[in-house]
Amino acid sequence: QVQLVESGGGLVQAGGSLRLSCAASGLTFSSYSMAWFRQAPGKEREFVAAISYSGGKTYFEDSVKGRFTISRDNTKNTVYLQMNSLTPEDAAVYYCATVLGDWDQTSHYDCWGQGTQVTVSS
């Protein structure tokens, strides 16, 4: 069955950087767009970024544009989220998810990972 495993979270100071990874198995990775979401305590899960199945298109939530980048390595079945200039508002559990085909704002997410914690100290 499909499994998504996030890693790379941790504790960083404001202004610092982290790179999150999401390793996928049990699917034809290159057929899926991939997305990152986050959820902070007391808040709803929110969209962060997405990348098309080919890697040629990327999408970002406004608050992370210019600070975060999303990329993928289809030879490793892995998607990455590079997070720079982190602020306490970025602290959350970050999740990756799959979309069969091209991503858009109405996409249905097929599978989810278990999440990785990002903590940002002020």
Q: Which of 122, 118, 112 is nearest to 36 (CA)?
A: 112
Evaluated on CA atoms 46, 40, 32, 21, the torsion sign reads positive
In this predicted structure, what is the pLDDT of residue 51?
98
Answer whether 36's CB lies under 8 Å from 96's CB.
yes
In this predicted structure, what is the pLDDT of residue 14?
98
Quick one: tokens of 95? 């999740």
Does the pLDDT at position 88 exceed 90?
yes
Share of residues in the chain with pLDDT > 90 (%): 97
- pLDDT single digits (tens) 97-114: 999 999 999 999 999 999
Does the pLDDT at position 54 exceed 90?
no
Does the pLDDT at position 91 exceed 90?
yes
- Mean pLDDT calculated for residue range 77-95: 98
